[in-house]
Amino acid sequence: MIGRETKMKRQGVKRGVGPPPRVMEEIRKRLSEQEVQGLQAVFALRAGAQQVDNALNEWLADTAGSFARFQILMALWSTKGHKIPHTDIVSAMGVTRATVSGLLTALERDGLVKSYSDESDRRKLIARLTAKGETAVRKAFETSLNHFRVVFASLSTAELTRLTALLHRVREGFTASQSR
């Protein structure tokens, strides 16, 4: 067993970031080395994405409440007091109208956002940030920024640029595979 764990460490496989070793052995029998590396990359990416999601929600718990709520607050904050149609928030976030509606309802209940009907089209809902919301988004931004500085301190600008480019290519690959 120690030999297998040492081999996994050398190959960059971490415990808990993919299937158990016995399952990986069976998968290896059916895939090329490049396919195995791709599968390991997916497991590492998924584990990393989950860790990022958990960290962001933890950082934002006392201010915005969650990353999704923070996205809406930042979109409203960036308008510098102007209002945004709910449909624009839906488009920007790439989620359903129901998701944004639920998030905005919760933000309104917390006094961070105010929504109302557009005067020219009563069917169209408009949102704006409240003073309380502006305070929350500023605090959330500063808290997040401090954490980001720690997270990315060990990476150079070139490494971050390369990482971002690679992640975009992976995302494009997944998008391409869905259109088949």
User: Tell me: the pLDDT tens digits for 157-173?
Assistant: 999 999 999 999 999 99
- Total domains, the chain: 2
The rounded distance, in Å, linking the Cα atoms of 19 and 10 is: 17
> Which residue intervals of 110-151 are DSSP H helices?
131-151
Terminal Cα distance for the chain, rounded: 41
Q: 45 is in which domain, residue-wise?
A: 1-60
Residues 4 and 69 grouped into a single domain? no
Which pLDDT tens digit goes with each residue over 20-67? 999 999 999 999 999 999 999 999 999 999 999 999 999 999 999 999
CA 31 to chain centre: 30
Does residue 11 form part of some domain?
A: yes
pLDDT at 4 over 90: no
- Is 8 a residue whose pLDDT tops 80? no
pLDDT of res. 16: 64
DSSP 3-state assignment of 2?
helix
CA–CA distance from 171 to each of 12, 95, 131, 174 (Å)? Answer: 22, 17, 37, 5
Residue 125's H or E segment, with its range, is: strand 125-129
Same domain, 79 and 34: no
Structure-block tokens of residue 134: 């502006």
- Which residue reads 């970031």 in tokens? 17
In-domain check, residue 135: yes
Per-residue confidence (pLDDT) for residue 50, from 0 to 100: 94
Q: What does the DSSP 8-state code read for residue 85?
A: E
Are 73 and 100 in the same domain?
A: yes
What's the average model confidence in pLDDT over 7-19?
Answer: 57
Over residues 55-108, the pLDDT tens digits come to 999 999 999 999 999 999 999 999 887 888 999 999 988 899 999 999 999 999
Domain boundary among 60, 75, 101: 60
Q: Is the dihedral of CA 64, 68, 72, 75 positive or negative?
A: positive
Tell me if 106 is assigned to some domain. Answer: yes
pTM of the prediction? Answer: 0.74
Do 27 and 86 belong together in one domain? no
The reply to whether 55 and 80 lie within a common domain is: no
Q: Are residues 69 and 147 in the same domain?
A: yes
The predicted structure's pLDDT at residue 5: 47
Q: How many whole angstroms separate alpha carbon 64 and alpha carbon 85? A: 20
Predicted confidence (pLDDT) at residue 1 exceeds the cutoff of 60: no
How are the residues of the chain apportioned to helix, strand and coil, as percentages rounded to the nearest 5? 70, 5, 25
27 within a domain of the structure (yes/no):
yes
- Give CA angle at 109 (106, 110), nearest 5°: 90
pLDDT higher than 80, residue 132: yes
Helix (H) or strand (E) holding 172: helix 157-178
Domain shared by 51 and 84, yes or no: no
* pLDDT surpasses 70 at 118: yes
Tokens 């584990």, located at residue: 47
